[in-house]
Every structure is written in C-alpha cells, then in structure tokens.
Amino acid sequence: MAVQQRRVSKSRKGMRKSHLHLEKATVIACPKCGQMIKPHHVCKYCGYYDKKKVLEIKKIDKK
C-alpha cells in the first residue's frame, strides 16, 4: 500500500484543489412573466417555453 513520503503543504493542496469549486447557476429572466429560470427550461411559473405554452399551471389559493 502507498505511504505518504512528505507532508503536502497548504499551497500544494490549494493548487491541486483550485478547480474543485461550485460554479454559479446560470439564470435568465423569463420573457413571458419575468421570473428567473434556467435557460432552455420550461418556466415553472407561467408554463411557457420558447413563446409556446407547454404546461398548464394551476393557481394555488393561499389560506
């Protein structure tokens, strides 16, 4: 089995892990209702995708 020969410094560890980070999610404004949605996805607020209605959204009454 492999055994560590030298301690890995904070700098080397940081350089190795420099690409392991989360990227910000890309969001755009829905052209129909203005809500923020992911690009190339159906808007879950109005049900439109590319100027076409593809989902029937039911209104929920808040009590």
Q: Is the pLDDT of residue 62 over 80?
A: no
Give me the percent of the chain exceeding a pLDDT of 90: 73
| Nearest-angstrom CA–CA distance, 6 and 32 | 59
Which pLDDT band holds residue 2 (cuts at 50, 70, 90)? confident
Q: What is the mean pLDDT of the chain?
A: 92
Q: Is the pLDDT of residue 43 over 90?
A: yes
Cβ atoms of residues 35 and 43 within 8 Å = yes
Q: Which of 62, 63, 43 is nearest to 54 (CA)?
A: 43
Tell whether pTM > 0.75. no
End-to-end CA gap in the chain: 63
CB within 8 Å of 51: residues ≥ 6 apart = 31, 32
Q: Which residue has the higher pLDDT, 30 or 2?
A: 30
